Amino acid sequence: MSEIGSDDLKAMVLAIAARIADSRERLNRLDAALGDGDHGASISGAFELAASEVADLPDPKPSEIWLTTAQSLMNGMGGASGALFGTLFLKGGAAIRGKERLVKADLNQLWAASLAGVKARGKAEIGDKTMVDALEPAVLAFAANDNIADAWAAAAEAASNGAESTRALIARQGRAKYLGERGIGHQDPGATTIALMFEALDNYWREMTNGKA
C-alpha cells in the first residue's frame, strides 16, 4: 500500500481522537504542572468533535477532511491550543488541495506545510518547550524515509523523543514561560499530544498494512 485516500484520512482522524481520549487524564496532569490543567479535557473534546464532523462528511476530498478537522479544533477548543493545532491541520489541508489520493511526496508536503504553519503562527522554534519540539523532528524523520511504513514509524519515534526532550527545557512561549526554571522536569503537554498523534498514525498504518498483507 503506497497511496492514501479519503477513507484512510478519515480513519486517521478517528484514530488520533481515540488515542487522545485515552490520554485525557495524563494530559490534564502534565498541563497542571505547567498551565491550568485542562489540556487533556479540551483537546480530547475538540478531537471528538473533529472525529464526528469528519465521519459525517459525504464523499470528501482529502483536503476537506483536514480542513474540517482544523475548524473543529479551532472553534471547538479555542485558546492557543485551538489556534495552533487548528493551524497544523489547516496548512496541511491546504497543501493537498485538489488531490484525490496522496502519495509519499504529497504527505511530505502536507507535514512540511503543517510545521511551517505552526512555527509561523506560534513564533516558536525547537528548544522553546512547545509542540514544535515534537513536531519538527517527526516531520523531518517522516521526510527522510521513502518507504511510508518506515516513515510513520520513524516519525512516531522522533515525536516521542522530542516530547521527552521538553522535560529538560525552560519554556520560551506560552503560559509556561512565566514559570522559568520551575518548569524544568515537566514534559510539555502540547508536545505530548503531537507524540500521541504520530503514535496513533503509526499504529493505524501498521494495522492497515497487516490486515491487507
**Positions 65 through 104 that interact with other proteins (CB under 8 A):** 71, 74-84, 86-87
**Positions 170 through 199 that interact with other proteins (CB under 8 A):** 173-175, 178-180, 182
Using alpha carbons only, give the angle 91, 191, 148 rounded to the nearest 5 degrees.
60
Shortest spacing between CB 82 and other proteins, in angstroms: 5
Which DSSP string do the residues of 39-76 spell out, in sequence order?
HHHHHHHHHHHHHHHHHT-SS--HHHHHHHHHHHHHHH
Shortest spacing between CB 195 and other proteins, in angstroms: 21
CA distance 139 to 116: 10
Contact call for residue 36 and other proteins (CB under 8 A): yes
Rg over CA atoms, the chain: 16
Q: Is 5 left (phi over 0), alpha (psi -120 to 50) or beta?
A: beta
Residue with cell 512516531: 156
> Given the complex with other proteins, which of 71 and 145 has the nearer CB atom?
71
Q: Which of 14, 17, 23, 28 binds other proteins (CB under 8 A)?
A: 28
Contact call for residue 147 and other proteins (CB under 8 A): no
Contact call for residue 41 and other proteins (CB under 8 A): yes
Q: Which residues bind other proteins (CB under 8 A)?
A: 28, 32, 35-38, 41-42, 71, 74-84, 86-87, 121-122, 173-175, 178-180, 182
